[in-house]
């Protein structure tokens, strides 16, 4: 898509809001549905980091709003696998080639 910056940000914000609403009603799926929208608007290479920031903001606000109900032992056990594997996935994504060359 070839849109100006204001239109792109408006479309991305509207899609994020609508899919957050749908995700709240359904209980899941906002990030999965938002990735194709962001890919169309920003391209694949930029869509993943933009979606990551959107998801961090979304999840961070939920953590803050529910901070009194957090169970730290469960969070610690989950983080033992989630944090190192998320870092490994980020490094793999950053090192991935942009495109495949068809040299003959």
- Condensed to tens digits (0 to 9), the pLDDT of residues 19-44 reads 888 888 887 778 888 899 999 998 88
* Local structure of residue 82 (DSSP, 8 states): H
pTM of the predicted model as reported, rounded to 2 decimal places: 0.68
Residues 6+ apart with CB under 8 A from 1: 8, 40, 41
Residue 44 has a CB neighbour count (10 Å cut-off) of: 11
State mean pLDDT over 94-99: 79
């Amino acid at each position: 898509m070839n849109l100006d910056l204001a239109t792109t940000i408006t479309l991305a914000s509207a899609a994020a809001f609508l899919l957050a609403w749908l995700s709240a009603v359904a209980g899941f799926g906002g990030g999965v549905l938002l990735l194709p929208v962001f890919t169309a608007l920003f391209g694949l290479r930029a869509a993943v980091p933009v979606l990551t920031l959107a998801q961090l903001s979304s999840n961070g606000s939920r953590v803050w709003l529910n901070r009194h109900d957090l169970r730290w032992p469960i969070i610690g056990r989950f983080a033992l696998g989630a944090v190192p594997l998320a870092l490994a996935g980020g490094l793999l994504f950053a090192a991935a080639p942009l495109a495949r060359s068809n040299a003959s």
